[in-house]
Structure 1
């Protein structure tokens, strides 16, 4: 596939790194010459320097015969115009744009039409991060939750602790503990080493366990790995930007929400906009303010400013003063593994959330959802099977008969309205939605080829 990526920031660069290893023809466009030279030396891709929305630059980047344009520059306006130019002049088949401004998103049904701004898919990092934060609040104790197949199937990452009934026992004991609930444990991270789980694998305290199950049963499965935490009822949010305001709005009817904003004018606007949220003008690193607002009673402290260092320091202080959980927004990927799992419980990456959403549109075949997992190497994807026994390598075959690469596990299937755990004797059918766990993203092209129907398959 010939792909043009506009913008060599963190998202554009990470997307290029993900796709260049999958036999795609990648061209990266940006104004920063030094950064382009570095990326060209490091990866097998073309680079073009210039304004991303310029017809001449797009032509030089190969827009006339590109299959896909991904506009992820730091400017919404440049992204929108680039898609318009690419459509009007070069008839590019698929155009994806990152749009951040809420004003544009609120009018998206009128703006993003073929006759106005012809954008096929809109990616909004703010909405993606808000969704992720709310999911983590909904499932206390989870480190990551990703929904698939119309939210009927979920992948969950959580830590095993002493007190969990399965801790100290083999995975096979899960069936005895929960005879009426099916789930598939797909990965265990133990002391930074990934273990492929077998029935005889013993779950140990401290293991980071990734499992796939029907969404309804998430808490039941988690209760086997840890003592379930009580629902978060008292939440403190730092930062009244788009993400902070959105999270507060979505939580304020089910939780007691306090929001701290440093800018007085913005705090005033938020206090009028958020009817059930208590908004403070102040600094989250002010000990006296946190004490006054009873930080020791806060179930979840969520720091969502655009400043990584401020988020980290505020969360560390809040935990030291008694907050039960700390979630922080981190822009720099290098910080995430450094801080997560210590005093700070969860680091949320807008880049990772954005990449996951982009990959769902970039993957070959019918792939409605993709989730990049917490450490960035593994991936889970939802694939819709099409074809019959004559045109497909998977339709009509048992899971045990598939030639799956090492590190690939079929987790669960949504068939019409039924969720089925993909056991060895399950026979795959046309229109099945299959959630596949891939331990290494480099294997994804093999999975795409396996599930794509072919008129020449024998």
Structure 2
């Protein structure tokens, strides 16, 4: 696929690195020539220096025959105008724009072909709010990724000594916990003086304390999966109630508003250094959100506000170093879990495996939304994992036994690469490609409740099944997409 990326900032660079690794033809536009040269030296792509709203610059970047434009420059106005120019001057078939301003939603008249001609809006702040909200909902999870409209989840968590599943072989979990339908798809194990190492999972693989375990399950089973990997028998599961946020930026404001909507569930505090911003937050947020002026590096302030009783400490300011140090201090003073928002990917990688429980980059939270628009076939959801190395993929089986290499066949007969894990199948979702009912005929009966299936070797794939895979290496993506491609001349 030929893709133009406008903006070589953090998001643009992360998108370029991910898309280049999938052998796409990438061109990046930016006004900073030095930044583009540095990017060209690291990645196999082409840089064009200039303003993305200039038709001559877009033409030089190859807009006449490009497949997708990703506009992620610093200014919303630049991204929207670039998308419109690309559509009017070059008829670019698909445009994605990063827009931070509220009020722009997919499908609105403002984004139609007569408007700004944007097919999908990406908002980093909203992506972060959704991402962090899931971590609040499922205490103990390091990542929570949704599939099939939220009916299934991929979670990762750190295995703890004494939990029922820890120390057990994977094949025995089905016998010990038959009521919990789940599939463990990957383990990343800690080793002394070296990075976590991927451990292929089969029935004989044993879960060890400290392992980062990735598991797929139906949404309603996620608490049980987390308990099996983290909580000793008889120990109650502790919910998140007390949340403290360091930094009163847009992410903190939107997250506080989203959490406060669940009235009575959370005790929320925001610590912000700027007095004017504190006044603004206090006047705009619900009254149950307590806004404090101060520094989260102030030990006395943290002690006075009961940091040792905080369930989740979130460092969400725009300063990486402050976020890291605030989390380390909060953890030392007794906060149960800490999350640092870190813009620089190199810093986030350094924090992995330290006292900081979760190091989150904005690009990591929104990259999956972007990747889903670059994939071929019926890819419904994509989530980038392990800092872009691994991936979880939801794809829909289409066609019939004659036109498809998967429909009507057992799982054990599918020519999948050995490293690819088919985690689960969601069956019974509405078919977006079903033909409309013939006039005069009775409409078909509404489908029953969708079913989450943990596939076995004898499970047969049916048309419209939503199949979720875990891929330890992104290079395997094209093989899975090719397998699910429908062809009228398969036989």
Q: Does the alignment reach a TM-score above 0.5?
A: yes
Change beyond 3 A, Cα 1:271–1:110 = farther
Q: Deviations over 1:87-118 (max 9, x none)?
A: 1111111100111123x437983532222211
Do residues 302 (structure 1) and 314 (structure 2) align?
A: yes
Asked whether the equivalents of residues 364 and 387 of structure 2 are also in contact (C-alpha less than 8 Å), the reply is: no
2:224 alignment partner in structure 1:
220
Supply the distance in 2 between the matched residues of 1:232 and 1:272 (Cα, whole angstroms). Answer: 26
Supply the distance in 2 between the matched residues of 1:165 and 1:136 (Cα, whole angstroms). Answer: 22
2:74 alignment partner in structure 1:
74
Change beyond 3 A, Cα 1:261–1:109 = farther
Asked whether the equivalents of residues 141 and 229 of structure 1 are also in contact (C-alpha less than 8 Å), the reply is: no
2:201 alignment partner in structure 1:
197
- The TM-score normalised by the length of structure 2 is 0.90
Q: Deviations over 1:351-370 (max 9, x none)?
A: 11121110011111122211
Supply the distance in 1 between the matched residues of 2:52 and 2:254 (Cα, whole angstroms). Answer: 30
Unaligned runs of 5+ in 1: none
1:153 alignment partner in structure 2:
152
Deviation at 1:211, TM superposition (A): 0.6
Three-state SS of the structure 2 residue aligned to 1:403 is coil
Asked whether the equivalents of residues 237 and 303 of structure 1 are also in contact (C-alpha less than 8 Å), the reply is: yes
Supply the distance in 2 between the matched residues of 1:298 and 1:41 (Cα, whole angstroms). Answer: 45
Supply the distance in 1 between the matched residues of 2:199 and 2:99 (Cα, whole angstroms). Answer: 38
How many pairs align? Answer: 457
Supply the distance in 2 between the matched residues of 1:429 and 1:193 (Cα, whole angstroms). Answer: 35
Which of 412, 416, 421 is matched with 1:404 structurally?
416
Deviation at 1:67, TM superposition (A): 0.9
Unaligned runs of 5+ in 2: 191-195, 429-449
1:45-56, aligned counterparts within 5 Å? 45-56=45-56
Deviation at 1:337, TM superposition (A): 2.4
Supply the distance in 1 between the matched residues of 2:97 and 2:167 (Cα, whole angstroms). Answer: 48
1:246 alignment partner in structure 2:
254
Do residues 268 (structure 1) and 279 (structure 2) align?
A: yes
Supply the distance in 1 between the matched residues of 2:398 and 2:105 (Cα, whole angstroms). Answer: 35
Q: Deviations over 1:311-364 (max 9, x none)?
A: 111111111222111111111111112113322111111111121110011111
Q: CA RMSD in A?
A: 1.5
Do residues 280 (structure 1) and 292 (structure 2) align?
A: yes
Supply the distance in 2 between the matched residues of 1:107 and 1:174 (Cα, whole angstroms). Answer: 42
Q: Deviations over 1:276-309 (max 9, x none)?
A: 1011122111222112211111111111011111
1:446 alignment partner in structure 2:
479
Change beyond 3 A, Cα 1:182–1:226 = same
Asked whether the equivalents of residues 392 and 471 of structure 2 are also in contact (C-alpha less than 8 Å), the reply is: yes
Q: Deviations over 1:158-189 (max 9, x none)?
A: 01111111111111111122112211100011
Deviation at 1:418, TM superposition (A): 0.8
- The TM-score normalised by the length of structure 1 is 0.97
